[in-house]
Chain A
Amino acid sequence: MEAMFLSRWQFAITTVYHFLFVPVTLGLSVFVALLETCYVRTKKPEWKGACKKLVQFFGALFIINFSMGVVTGIVQEFHFGMNWSEYARFMGDIFGAPLALEALTAFFLESTMLGVWIFGWKRLSEKAHCVTIWLVAIASNLSAFWILVANSFMQHPVGYVLNNGRAEMQDFFALLTNHYVLGEYTHTFFAGWATAGFVVVAVSAWKVLHDEKSRNAFRQTLKSGALFMLIGLLCSAGTGHFHAQYLEQANPMKLAAMEALWEDENPAPFAVYANINEKTHKNDSELTIPGLFSFMVYNTPSGEVRGMNSLQADYEKQYGNGDYRPDVTGLFWSFRFMVGFAGLMMLLALATYLIAKKEDAYKHTTFLSALPWLLPIVYIVNSCGWYVAEAGRQPWIVVGLQKTADAVSPNLTGGDVWLTMIGFTVTYLILAIIALRLAFHFIRKNHVSYEGRN
Chain B
Amino acid sequence: MELQIVWFILIAVLFTGFFFLEGFDYGVGGLLPFLSPDDKDRSQIIRTITPVWDGNEVWMITAGGALFASFPHVYSTMFATFYLALFLMLFALILRGVAFEFRGRRESLSWRHFWEGCIAFGSIVPAILWGVAVTDLIRGLPINEKMIYTGGFFDLLSIYSIVGGLAFLFVFLYHGASYLTIRLSDKSLIERARAMGLKMGRLAVIFFVLCMVLTATNTDLYHSALATIALIAAAAVFVAANVMLAKRNGKVSFILSSLAIVFTTVAFFAGLFPRIMVSSLNPAYSLTITNASSSPYTLSVMTVVACIFVPIVLIYQIWAYHLFRKRVTEQDAEEEY
Residues of A bordering B, CB below 8 Å? 56, 59-60, 63-64, 67-68, 70-72, 74-75, 77-78, 80-83, 85-86, 88-89, 91-97, 99-105, 107-109, 111-116, 118-124, 163, 168-170, 172, 409-412, 416, 419-420, 423-424, 427, 431, 434-435, 438, 441-442
Contact = CB atoms under 8 A, between A and B. Distances in A.
B209 interface: no
Contacts of A113: 316, 320
A290 to B, nearest CB: 49
B94 A108 contact: no
B98 A88 contact: no
A103 B79 contact: no
A89 B65 CA distance: 13
Question: A-side binding surface: helix, strand, loop or mixed?
Answer: helix
25 contacts: A64-B105, A75-B94, A77-B61, A80-B75, A81-B78, A82-B79, A93-B297, A96-B66, A96-B75, A96-B294, A97-B69, A100-B70, A108-B58, A112-B317, A119-B51, A120-B323, A121-B337, A409-B80, A410-B148, A411-B81, A411-B150, A412-B83, A416-B83, A424-B87, A438-B106
Interface string B20-45: 00000000000000000000000000
Contact of A85 (B52, B79, B302, B313): B79
A115 B97 contact: no
Question: B-side binding surface: helix, strand, loop or mixed?
Answer: helix
B65 A81 contact: no
A441 B294 CA distance: 49
The bracket for how many chain B residues form the interface is: 35 or more
A411 B298 contact: no
Given A82-B86, A96-B65, A99-B69, A438 B105 contact: yes
Contacts of A85: 76-77, 79-80, 148
Interface in B84-137: 84, 86-87, 90-91, 93-94, 97-98, 100-102, 105-106
B285 interface: no
A85 B83 CA distance: 11
B298 A168 contact: yes
B54 A105 contact: no
B8 to A, nearest CB: 15
A70 B84 contact: no
Contact of A81 (B58, B80, B297): B80
Given A77-B61, A88-B72, A115-B54, A431 B94 contact: yes
Interface stretch (B213-221, B232-240, B304-312): B304-312
B158 interface: no
